[in-house]
Amino acid sequence: MAKQNNRRRTTTSRKPKKKSSSVVMKKTIRIVAVVFLVSLFLGIVYHYKEGLAYYFSFKTDKVLDKEARDKRLSVVRNYQVLEKNDDKAIGIDVSEYQGEIDWDDVETLDNNYSLSFVFIRATVGNDRLDKRFEENWLQAKEKNIIRGAYHYYRPNENSIEQAELFIKTVRLQQGDLPPVLDIEKLPENQSVARLKIGLRRWLTKVEEHYQVKPIIYTGERYYDDFLKEEFSDYLFWIANYNFYREKLDEDWLFWQFTEKATVSGIKGNVDVNIFNGDLQQLQFITKE
């Protein structure tokens, strides 16, 4: 029987490879990103600590219901916005939805901030008057609040007829704000291009009648998506209720920053607006 040659197996030890610089760099970037996000989060929490405290009911032993909690959060945000814009004129906008208004008591917002102006809904579409426009229009004048009238535009109705209804209803006087076109919805039976033609026709006819360029009211997204470029020759009144926005953009004439405010003399919630200037500058844009 042949002998088997037993050879010893030699094992060679391998040195561990050094981590590549790219792996180290990736981990470093991840760590920096996490630190940045955490710092950003903590900064936001600190900045809005009062609002968050109200929201999560940290300041009360009782658990607030959703409506009460949301109301408290709105009040906190309102004060934060107003404090950061205390050099600007503050106003409201109203319609028949506010019911009967006690104009003798309409003076302040949250019993703290004086009101300088009011926008009042006058007409809707081509056939409807706001039920309380005439009363609100006259009372605001007697109260010596700078007033303005707005038309709620219906995209699927004739633009000239809508303009004629507004002109027939609203008689602007010296000291009144320019007329306002309120556009919030997209058309159902026409293109966006046709909608823009209709808006332009309304604006042109109203300007020809009152000899003053109208203001356009809309939401910020609607403004960015459909109006900002083609209607750049007009001034805008923008609605944006987002908690992170605290000041107006430079190209906004008015900013509607909340729909949940309390005003003396008015039952329920009211929309509040900030003019991009002080009272003297506001008076400058009124009708001569």
d(CA 140, CA 179): 16
Same domain flag for 94 and 29 = no
pTM: 0.77
Model confidence pLDDT, tens digit, residues 238-267 = 999 998 888 899 999 999 999 999 899 999
Same domain flag for 33 and 124 = no
Give a yes or no: residue 77 inside a domain.
no
Give a yes or no: residue 171 inside a domain.
yes
d(CA 116, CA 275): 10
CATH of the domain at 170: 3.20.20.80
Model confidence pLDDT, tens digit, residues 81-132 = 999 999 999 999 999 999 999 999 999 887 788 999 999 999 999 999 999 9
Give a yes or no: residue 6 inside a domain.
no
Tell me which of 105, 184, 230, 259 is the catalytic residue. Answer: 184
> Integer distance in angstroms from the first to the last C-alpha of the chain?
126
- 34 Ramachandran zone, left/alpha/beta (phi>0; psi -120 to 50): alpha
Give a yes or no: residue 14 inside a domain.
no
Give a yes or no: residue 60 inside a domain.
no
The answer to whether residue 93 is catalytic is yes
Number of domains composing the chain: 2
For 96-131, the DSSP string reads: GGG-S--GGG--EETTTEE--EEEEEEEETTTEE-T
Among 8-17, 42-51, 199-208, 227-236, which stretch is predicted with the lowest mean pLDDT?
Answer: 8-17
d(CA 264, CA 105): 6
